[in-house]
């Protein structure tokens, strides 16, 4: 009786098998644990997800991983270039989905979203570099150190 009651208070069934954890918790063997940093228990299958704009505001796609310091950092260091912000948002989503897929490789909906975001990011980088110049140092060092010739990258016409 005591064991059965203890299992139920931990979110497990009487046999100790099934855990029902909320979105701010992950599952450990026969118990739920709060999601924490740096150790994060495995998320539940098909966890609740924020809509895209809310995910960017909150700093995560998943409410269970909503860590308040991410939002604080975004408010202190806002990105001013909207094209660059969009690329950063795509990179963020790709990283977040990739981490989720490490433990949920059979989630086909998320896998398709992951590949779509990668395609969008590649296209976005190409368009961004056409308008603003290279995003990475390796782009401008291919074929020599072009920044040694005038104009310099931060000057008008640089890296074009």
156 in any annotated domain: yes
**Model pLDDT, residue 84:** 82
Determine the Cα–Cα distance for residues 123 and 89; give it in Å rounded to an integer. Answer: 14
32 in any annotated domain: no
Determine the straight-line distance between the first and last CA of the chain, rounded to whole angstroms. 75
Domains identified in the chain, total number: 1
71 in any annotated domain: no
* 89-106 confidence digits (pLDDT tens): 899 999 999 999 999 999
Q: Say whether pLDDT at 6 is over 70.
A: no
Please tell me the pTM assigned to this model.
0.45
152 in any annotated domain: yes
**Model pLDDT, residue 134:** 81
139 in any annotated domain: yes
18 in any annotated domain: no
Domain that holds residue 141: 79-160
* 37-79 confidence digits (pLDDT tens): 555 556 778 888 888 888 877 777 888 777 665 556 566 656 5
> Which residues lie across from 28 on neighbouring strands?
31
**Model pLDDT, residue 7:** 41
**Model pLDDT, residue 80:** 56
């Amino acid at each position: 009786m005591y064991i059965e009651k203890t299992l139920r208070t931990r979110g497990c069934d009487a046999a100790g098998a099934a855990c029902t954890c909320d979105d701010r918790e992950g599952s450990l063997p026969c118990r739920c644990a709060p999601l924490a940093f740096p150790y994060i228990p495995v998320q539940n299958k098909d966890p609740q997800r924020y809509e895209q704009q809310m995910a960017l505001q909150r700093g995560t796609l998943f409410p269970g991983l909503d860590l308040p310091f991410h939002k604080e950092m975004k408010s202190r260091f806002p990105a001013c270039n909207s094209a660059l912000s969009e690329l950063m948002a795509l990179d963020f989503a790709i990283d977040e989905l990739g981490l989720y897929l490490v433990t949920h490789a059979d989630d086909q909906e998320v896998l398709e979203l992951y590949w779509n975001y990668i395609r969008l990011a590649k296209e976005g980088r190409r368009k961004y570099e056409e308008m603003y110049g290279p995003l990475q140092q390796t782009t401008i060092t291919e074929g020599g150190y072009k920044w040694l010739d005038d104009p310099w990258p931060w000057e008008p016409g640089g890296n074009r």
